Amino acid sequence: MFAMISYYVLHKWPPTNTKSVMVRRMLLQLNRAVPVNTGERGSYKMRAHTGIVRFMLLLFSVSASVNAFAFEEADLNQLKSSNRCPQCNLRGANLNWMDLQGANLSQADLRGAQCVQTNLRNANLSGANLQGANMLAASLEGAVLHGVNFTAANLRAANLRGTDLRRINFRAAVLVGTNFAGADLSEADLRDVWLYDAELSGANLSRADLSTAKVTYHELDDGILCNTLTLWGELSLGCPAY
């Protein structure tokens, strides 16, 4: 039973939100931790039972941790009234469909924030923590994103066209259908991300780490690959000539 649940979650359940990403990552750890049957009588059943118990506790802990996000109401009101809230606590805040173009959110805590179709064009998000944020179809074109943490964020169909994303941490993020055309992703951490159908034409992926990314070869065809780590090894298909 535990093996069946693990297979479905790891191979059939796309990580579309914070909770699913966290479950996937912790299940991988559990699968490594629970040993296989060694032939001892009853040991397999005991380990399977232990795995199921751990999985149920895992779901409970993930639910509790995600629901524990609590933003400061005063900070949210400040953002709405002034379009600026640097270093604010906006964890789990509902920013869906808001027009935050040019907003100052530098070093803000936006973990688990809801930013569906939010307009963040030219916003200052430098140093912000967007771990697990839901940024479905958000617009981030021209945003300042130095030092942003996008770990396990949902950026499906988001617009990051031409954006400076050097050394950004996208680990385990959902980037399906995301527009990275002309973006600078050099040295970005793209391990464990979902990059299917992403637009990468003209994107600079030099020295980026895609070694465990879910991506097909043709999606990288139009990008700049120079010492780029991929599933197929290190690729250099666009290094500038010296």
Query: Looking at the domain assignment, is residue 43 inside a domain?
Result: yes
Query: Looking at the domain assignment, is residue 98 inside a domain?
Result: no
Query: Looking at the domain assignment, is residue 53 inside a domain?
Result: yes
Q: In terms of residue numbers, what domain contains 7?
A: 2-67
The residues pairing with 144 across neighbouring beta strands, listed in sequence order, are 124
Radius of gyration of the chain (CA): 20
Distance CA 149, CA 125 (A): 10
Query: Looking at the domain assignment, is residue 170 inside a domain?
Result: no
Query: Looking at the domain assignment, is residue 120 inside a domain?
Result: no
Q: Into how many domains does the chain fold?
A: 1
Distance CA 80, CA 221 (A): 42
Widest Cα–Cα separation across the chain = 67
- Name the nearest CA neighbour of 129 among 213, 234, 31, 18: 18
Query: Looking at the domain assignment, is residue 212 inside a domain?
Result: no
8 A C-beta contact, residue 101 and residue 120: yes
Distance CA 234, CA 50 (A): 40
Distance CA 53, CA 55 (A): 5
Q: What is the pLDDT along the chain (242 residues), one digit of tens a residue?
A: 544 555 444 444 555 554 555 555 555 555 544 444 444 444 444 554 555 555 555 544 444 444 455 788 999 999 999 999 999 999 999 999 999 999 999 999 999 999 999 999 999 999 999 999 999 999 999 999 999 999 999 999 999 999 999 999 999 999 999 999 999 999 999 999 999 999 999 999 999 999 999 998 888 888 999 999 998 888 777 776 64
Tally of residues, the chain: 242
Q: Name the residue with tokens 């639910």.
A: 63
- Name the nearest CA neighbour of 110 among 83, 91, 123, 125: 91
Query: Looking at the domain assignment, is residue 134 inside a domain?
Result: no
- Name the nearest CA neighbour of 240 among 229, 227, 230, 231: 227
Query: Looking at the domain assignment, is residue 7 inside a domain?
Result: yes
Model confidence pTM above 0.75: no
